[in-house]
A = this chain, B = another copy of it.
Amino acid sequence: MGRERGASGVGDERASVFEGFEVGAEVSKQDYESVVPDLRVELVNMQYDLQQADFAVLVVLAGDDRKDANEMLDVLHEWLDARYLHTHVFLLPRQEELEYPDYWRYWRAMPPDGRIGIHAGAWPLRALAERILEEGSRSKLDRRIERMKALERCLADDGTVLVKLWLHLPAKQAKKRLKKAKKDPDREPYVGKEDWEIYERRDETMPVAERLLRETHTPWAPWSIVESSNSRHRNLEVARTILQAVRQRLDGGPARRSEGAPVAPRPSGSKVRTLEDVDLGASLEREEYRERMVELQGELARRVRKARGRVATVLAFEGWDAAGKGGVIRRLTQAIFARDYRVIPIAAPTDEERTHHYLWRFWRRIPRNGEMAIFDRSWYGRVLVERVEGYATEAEWRRAYAEINDFEAQLVDHGMVFCKFWLHLDPDEQLRRFQAREKTSYKKYKITDDDYRNREKWSAYTEAVDEMVARTSTEAAPWHLVAANDKKWARIQVLDRVVRALEARV
Contacting pair A73 B339 (CB below 8 A): yes
A83-91, A196-204, A208-216, A246-254: which one contacts chain B? Answer: A83-91
The minimal Cβ–Cβ distance linking A50 to chain B, given in whole angstroms, is: 11
Task: Answer whether residue A411 sits at the interface, using C-beta atoms and an 8 A cutoff.
Answer: no
Complexed CA–CA distance, A189 and B305 (Å)? 10
Number of interface residues of A (CB under 8 A): 45
Task: Answer whether residue A287 sits at the interface, using C-beta atoms and an 8 A cutoff.
Answer: no
Number of this chain's copies in the assembly equals 2
The minimal Cβ–Cβ distance linking A318 to chain B, given in whole angstroms, is: 14
Complexed CA–CA distance, A45 and B345 (Å)? 17
The minimal Cβ–Cβ distance linking A144 to chain B, given in whole angstroms, is: 23
Complexed CA–CA distance, A442 and B80 (Å)? 12
Q: In the complex, which of the residues A95, A305, A338, A345 has the most CB atoms of chain B within 10 Å of its own CB atom?
A: A338
Complexed CA–CA distance, A70 and B336 (Å)? 11
Question: Beta-carbon contacts of A329-346 to B below 8 Å, as 1s and 0s?
Answer: 110011001110011110
Contacting pair B76 A338 (CB below 8 A): yes
Residues of B within 8 A of A270 (CB): none
Contacting pair B329 A87 (CB below 8 A): no
The minimal Cβ–Cβ distance linking A315 to chain B, given in whole angstroms, is: 13
Q: Which residue of chain B lies nearest to A84 when distances are taken between CB atoms in the complex?
A: B345
Complexed CA–CA distance, A70 and B339 (Å)? 8
Task: Answer whether residue A130 sits at the interface, using C-beta atoms and an 8 A cutoff.
Answer: no
Residues of B within 8 A of A376 (CB): 83
Cross-chain contact of A77 among B74, B118, B333 (Cβ < 8 A): B333
Residues of B within 8 A of A285 (CB): none
User: What residues make up the interface of A, taking CB atoms closer than 8 Å to B?
Assistant: 40-42, 44-45, 48, 70, 73-74, 76-78, 81-85, 87, 89, 94-96, 118, 120, 189, 305, 326, 329-330, 333-334, 337-339, 342-345, 350-352, 376, 441-442, 445
Closest 10 CB pairs of A and B: A89-B339, A73-B338, A83-B345, A48-B445, A41-B442, A77-B338, A82-B343, A350-B352, A44-B442, A45-B442
